[in-house]
Amino acid sequence: MNNILTAIINISKSTKMTLRHKPTGNNRVQNMGEALEKYIQDVFSNTMEVSDQITRTALLSNTFSYLGNANNPPDMMLLGGDAIEVKKIQSPKSAIALNSSYPKAKLFASSHMISKACRESEVWEKKDMIYAIGVVHEHAISSLAFVYGEDYCAENATYEKIKKTIKDGVESIPNVAFSESKELGHVNRVDPLGITYLRIRGMWGIENPFSVFDYVYQRNMDHAFNFMCIINDEKFNSFENTIDLYEECKKNKRLHISDIRIKDANNPARLKSAKLITYYIPEQEAT
């Protein structure tokens, strides 16, 4: 079964950091995000060198139980494994726009934010969430980070509490006609004619992993490509193919695993044992 370690091994075997999949629309920013998603699909499903679309589609089907849409998280789910959310940023220090969806330590099948297709794609109740964050410029990835939601952001209840407090506060305003909404509020009949309405939406954002974890890893901007992955020890030790990753490290001197301690996302006073996995491509070797 393919997992995050499979993807890391596949990344370390390639020097091609140009996004190979062609955009399908006219929105350039959205197209680059779509191309990055397909790159992430490729590294998890061993299809980086597969050009035949029928073969690629079959391999994707054997790897993923769900490939998402632009309106609902996640972007993809590994069959019997983790959920993956892909985010593209254009600057090394840019924050990540999450829009109406707050960051997730875990993904639950009971969440109203996911689609029916996602909920019914396999039998599941809870999945760990991988955030795959890429810095993309001119069709090339210069930096890529994999981090687990539980190591990156607080538990879901933290964000739900804030959301509920704001929603309750908005709906307590007197003499305002609210209607039922999954957003923070939906106000009807704002004007005397009763023909105008107001939608109140949350716009969530989060700092990118390179900024959040700069106390354990810093990119070398002279390299053509920098990769970082952080996995807490409990999760790392749950994989059956850790030996494959260590063997790859012996063969590839640019792929490295180190033991680190990271801040607990729910209590920064506590530290968690974790693995930092890094890889880079020198400028002269990038293709």
Can you give the pLDDT at residue 137?
Answer: 84
Please report, to the nearest 10 degrees, the dihedral formed by the alpha carbons of residues 64, 238, 159, 229 taken in order.
-80
Neighbouring C-alpha atoms within 13 Å toward the C-beta of 205: 8
Q: What span, in angstroms and rounded, lies between the C-alpha atoms of 218 and 220?
A: 7
Element (H or E) spanning 157, and its range?
Answer: helix 156-171
Tell whether the model's pLDDT for residue 20 goes beyond 80: no
Q: Return the closest-CA partner of residue 83 out of 46, 53, 31, 125.
A: 125
Q: Return the closest-CA partner of residue 260 out of 194, 215, 221, 225.
A: 215
**pLDDT confidence band for 233 (50 / 70 / 90):** very high
Can you give the pLDDT at residue 286?
Answer: 65
113-126 pLDDT per residue, tens: 899 999 999 999 99
Tell whether the model's pLDDT for residue 138 goes beyond 80: no
Tell whether the model's pLDDT for residue 171 goes beyond 90: no
193-224 pLDDT per residue, tens: 888 988 888 889 999 999 999 999 999 999 99
SS3 79: coil
Question: Who's near 163: CB < 8 A, 6+ residues apart?
Answer: 102, 184, 202
30-73 pLDDT per residue, tens: 567 889 999 999 999 999 989 899 999 999 999 999 998 877 89
pTM comes to 0.92
Tell whether the model's pLDDT for residue 26 goes beyond 80: no
Tell whether the model's pLDDT for residue 6 goes beyond 70: yes
What mean pLDDT value characterizes the chain?
91
Lowest mean pLDDT among 150-159, 181-190, 231-240: 181-190
- From residue 247, how far is each of 28, 29, 101, 240, 255 by CA, in Å? 39, 38, 38, 13, 10
**pLDDT confidence band for 243 (50 / 70 / 90):** very high
Of the chain, the percentage scoring pLDDT greater than 90 comes to 69
**pLDDT confidence band for 23 (50 / 70 / 90):** low
- CA triplet 116, 117, 122: central angle to 5 degrees? 110
Can you give the pLDDT at residue 284?
Answer: 74
Of the chain, the percentage scoring pLDDT greater than 70 comes to 95
Q: Pull the structure tokens for residue 73.
A: 């998280």
